[in-house]
Amino acid sequence: MKILLASSEVHPFSKSGGLADMVAALGKALARAGHEARIVTPLYRGIREKFPEIKREDWQFDLPLGATRVQAGLFSLEVEKNLTVYFVDQPEFFDRAGYYLENEVSYSDNAGRFIFFSKCVTHLARYLPWQPDVVHVHDWQIGLVPALILNQQKNEGWGNPPPTCLTIHNLAYQGTFPANAFALTNLPPDFFTIERMEFFGQLNCLKAGIVFADAITTVSPRYAREIMTEEYGCALDDILRKRKDRFQGILNGVDYEEWNPAKDSFLKKPYSVARLAGKTVNKLALQKEVGLPENKNVPLFGTISRLAEQKGVDIQLGALEEMLSADIQFVLLGSGSAAYERGYHELARRFLNKAAVRVGYNEGLSHRIEAGSDFYLMPSRFEPSGLNQMYSLRYGAIPIVRATGGLDDSVIDLTEDAVRANGIKFHEYSNRALAKAIRKALAIYQQPELLRRYRQNGMKADFSWERTVGDYLKVYEAAKTSAPRQTFTLDKI
């Protein structure tokens, strides 16, 4: 099968979160399963310099964007057999300091930037000599592609376009813009109705994808159930319920070539489930790197996170205020809200030699935190899938998670299965509940055999993409074999 994937970020070329990891790993897994995968993504600032092997294609986009036309070029890189990445080169839109925002403020022309990118994806799907069997788009940035393809089928002579699949990575980010942004799509006016892509008087790019895609997935079964409820549905739960026959949750996989403590070049010493002694070496090295006292006997808690309310940083700060008075250490790597960054810096100042904070993102340090930590804190308010809890399991850092979304699907608490337990879950979203979970972790830490069993259970868990890719292939096959839609009204799809 030939699959064209499209994403606003793809590791290692661009990354602001788990989306980049997921798309890269899915593409690789499809290729290694014998399918042909190609990924389309913007050519952001610095990519050509970091990856000079990228080559320019003999391809020029000249596409309408409202009343104007915009030109762009195309670059490509063959990553491995059956996997090529295309980069849309439009410097005015993508040669910037950030992908979506700068100084915590979204770019004012994000609507135009990603509507244009969606048009480029649609153009490639139609005119590449390599014709895809399925077009798989990710999140709001490319959410308009299913509508653009359907319009070209109905009104512009595209006789038999490929079916489309939309994956929702986080329903809270929907790509909503003022109504006048709809003109940039160049779609007929009847696409901008409450049944289609209009949303409280605005254009909603993610809603458009949900309405028009032939198949819809999200990144865990629990999150799929959650976002069909009013509590988690971000005002799109009704549409998701109407499309439930074409909607399912598939838990993200882990690229164990990137995340494998036995072969990780970022670590001081490799280790595995059969050779756990190396974890202590990495713990001492991490303590030294971040300026904490080197002590193998003190339980070390780690977090790598975007500093936003969704990630539970408010209750984490509150719980740590209480728990750092105990004999523990804490290390954070992350960035986000300036207020939360200040909160963690203040925590580190007050609990000198107990808390270390590194603002920003560093790939090597993220691996070393997973390897050096005894426990990994992930108290998310909601979490569509989450990847770090799965990395933590493989690295023997016992995850402490709130039972939501993909965290609930991937971590096993003692109360669920005493034999296979690999983490600690709590339910109530509060400082108190998280502090109680941390106290459970400290009790486990005092029992070496129990600690070892938790670690070994986690390190043996298999979240490989080789297992997950089969679920996506079933979705693609179902989209290919389903009867083509002859209408795009919600009561018929």
CB of 56 within 8 A of CB of 73?
Answer: yes
Rounded CA separation 341/431 (Å): 18
Rounded CA separation 197/236 (Å): 11
Sorted by sequence, the CB contacts under 8 Å of residue 416 that are 6+ apart come out as: 425
The answer to whether domain 2-253+467-481 and domain 277-462 are alike in fold is: yes
For residue 375, the surrounding DSSP H or E stretch is strand 375-378
pTM: 0.90
Rounded CA separation 136/110 (Å): 21
Q: Which of 316, 327, 326 is nearest to 401 (CA)?
A: 316
Q: What is the pLDDT along the chain (493 residues), one digit of tens a residue?
A: 999 999 999 999 999 888 999 999 999 999 999 999 999 999 999 999 999 999 999 999 999 999 999 999 999 999 999 999 999 999 999 999 999 998 879 999 999 999 999 999 999 999 999 999 999 999 999 999 999 999 999 999 999 999 999 999 999 999 999 999 999 999 999 999 999 999 999 999 999 999 999 999 999 999 999 999 999 999 999 999 999 999 999 999 998 999 999 999 999 999 999 999 999 999 999 999 999 999 999 999 999 998 999 999 999 999 999 999 999 999 999 998 899 999 999 999 999 999 999 999 899 999 999 999 999 999 999 999 999 999 999 999 999 999 999 999 999 999 999 999 999 999 999 999 999 999 999 999 999 999 999 999 999 999 999 989 999 999 999 998 874 554 444 444 4
Within 13 A of 290's CA, how many CA atoms are on the CB side? 31
CB of 387 within 8 A of CB of 286?
Answer: no
pLDDT of 349 reads 96
**Residue 7 dihedral angles phi and psi, to the nearest 5°:** -150, 150
Rounded CA separation 489/478 (Å): 21
**Residue 261: Cβ within 10 Å count:** 26
Burial 181-201 (b: 16+ CB within 10 A, else e): bbebbebeeebbeeebbbbee
pLDDT of 484 reads 52
CB of 229 within 8 A of CB of 237?
Answer: yes
Helix axis angle, 145-155 to 110-127, nearest 10°:
50
pLDDT of 104 reads 79
The first and second tokens of residue 354, run together, are: 């107990």
Rounded CA separation 436/268 (Å): 32
**Residue 121 dihedral angles phi and psi, to the nearest 5°:** -60, -45
pLDDT of 27 reads 98
Helix axis angle, 277-290 to 363-372, nearest 10°:
130
User: CA end-to-end span of the chain, whole Å?
Assistant: 25
Sorted by sequence, the CB contacts under 8 Å of residue 128 that are 6+ apart come out as: 4
SS (H, E, C) 214-248: CEEEECCHHHHHHCCCCCCCCCCHHHHHHCHHHEE
pLDDT of 486 reads 41
What residue type is 339 in one-letter code? A
pLDDT of 493 reads 40
**Taking the domains of the chain in order of start, what are their residue ranges?**
2-253+467-481, 277-462
CATH class as words, domain 277-462: alpha beta
pLDDT of 482 reads 74
pLDDT of 487 reads 43
Q: Which of 117, 75, 109 is nearest to 178 (CA)?
A: 109
The first and second tokens of residue 490, run together, are: 């919600």
CB of 377 within 8 A of CB of 400?
Answer: yes
Residue linked to tokens 């897994």:
29
The first and second tokens of residue 205, run together, are: 């790019």
Rounded CA separation 251/221 (Å): 7
Residue linked to tokens 């838990």:
251
CATH class as words, domain 2-253+467-481: alpha beta
The first and second tokens of residue 171, run together, are: 């329903």
pLDDT tens sequence across 208-219: 999 999 999 999
